[in-house]
Chains A and B, each alone.
Chain A
């Protein structure tokens, strides 16, 4: 479904993505992990062109997305993107957040969009909050609405950019449950996340990135039990036992 070929990106002098080559199949759930600044978020943002790349190519469903003939808005409407900061629209209520794009871009009648949104809100367990405004919701609830909003466009591919990193610890679980539910439905998902429990249980494959390169690609069991590179070994040690490293 997605082919990345020798993708390179620079921020000025800084080489953010280095020759990233990767193939992701339909229905796969891929977790990208790695230390901060390793290029995980940059990589996932290039997949719907929120960040331009300088060389290489990304092909999604047979379409070179940096090719000249891409209809950008149409292309983006087929990819769901969930942000770390939720980014719900604060001036619209939950239902309007979900039904705005389907009404505008898919030509749904208000009643149809409403019905579709309500079904999705039901699925993420927030149907009773349809009339609430984002500021009335907890972080976990906001992120679940954001997922429902992305799903309302019925995208075949969902991208998650650290969806639980801005949440209080007690709210992480409710968001991960929704994501697991989505994965078991066969959705193609790419998630940048630090939730190793989620990666272990839900992911088909883990990509480990450092300094703009994909250092390891493996099934979660292999990655967590037998990391190949020293960098990945250190990373896993650090997140498991936070006090093991010495301060220098």
Chain B
């Protein structure tokens, strides 16, 4: 197994880069990070639309949220793969295709996190801000979202964990992320399937377990912060 790691670690990490496109674990992490980064504003807008007093805004977004949540990610990836070129008229590369699928999928899940974050605050916060004369937008920007986003931090880390695992589905459209690379290695080595997939699994586990511990710590820290402030 050590021999395996010695021979292929670089390929596992970055794919054919710099002699070819970036791939491997770095691509996996990059995609997950970009996916979350781009879906965050989308989730913010969707989440606020979901609790908007305006029906024309609330209903379509709610419908979209239910539609996407009721669909496996694989379907969304297929849609992005076949549908995007049809509307843009040109072939989209795999990374962009996967990114679009992740942003739509994550955006919808983040919308629910944002919604819960806002609804979890006492109603008096919004009432009080409005009674001072702040507009709806000002209330959101200065009073509600700063508090809601803070409370959402652990959920955001958990969403990042999900996204890391979700990128493995890019395998299906030939995206050279870490699972795809592992299967390539397996084909080249031929006799060490168990070891190859053990290393792949271990890699995912270490990443996700580490991050979920981090989310747990974050939750504790936020809670402790509140207690300490209240006690002092």
A interface, CB within 8 angstroms of B = 48, 50, 73-79, 81, 83, 85, 87, 89-91, 100-101, 104-105, 133, 135-136, 149-150, 153
| B187 close to chain A: CB less than 8 A | no
Please state if B125 and A89 are interface contacts (CB–CB under 8 Å).
yes
Residues of chain B lying within 8 A (CB to CB) of residue A83: 124, 127-128, 131
Q: A133-B229, A136-B229 are in contact. Are A87 and B134 (CB under 8 A)?
A: no
23 cross-chain CB contacts under 8 A:
A50-B127, A50-B130, A76-B131, A76-B132, A77-B132, A78-B133, A79-B131, A81-B131, A81-B132, A83-B131, A85-B122, A89-B128, A89-B129, A89-B143, A89-B147, A91-B146, A101-B132, A101-B134, A105-B132, A105-B134, A135-B230, A150-B132, A153-B132
Q: Which residue of A lies closest to B125 (CB)?
A: A87
| B135 close to chain A: CB less than 8 A | yes
Chain A nearest Cβ from B34, distance in angstroms: 29
Chain B nearest Cβ from A225, distance in angstroms: 36
Please state if A104 and B138 are interface contacts (CB–CB under 8 Å).
yes
Interface of B is mostly: helix
B interface, CB within 8 angstroms of A = 122, 124-125, 127-135, 138, 142-143, 146-147, 150, 226, 229-230, 232
CA–CA, A135 and B143, complex, Å: 16
Chain B nearest Cβ from A121, distance in angstroms: 17
Please state if B232 and A90 are interface contacts (CB–CB under 8 Å).
no
Chain A nearest Cβ from B195, distance in angstroms: 50
Please state if A91 and B150 are interface contacts (CB–CB under 8 Å).
yes
CA–CA, A150 and B133, complex, Å: 10
Please state if B133 and A135 are interface contacts (CB–CB under 8 Å).
no
Chain A nearest Cβ from B217, distance in angstroms: 21
Chain B nearest Cβ from A210, distance in angstroms: 26
Please state if A76 and B127 are interface contacts (CB–CB under 8 Å).
no
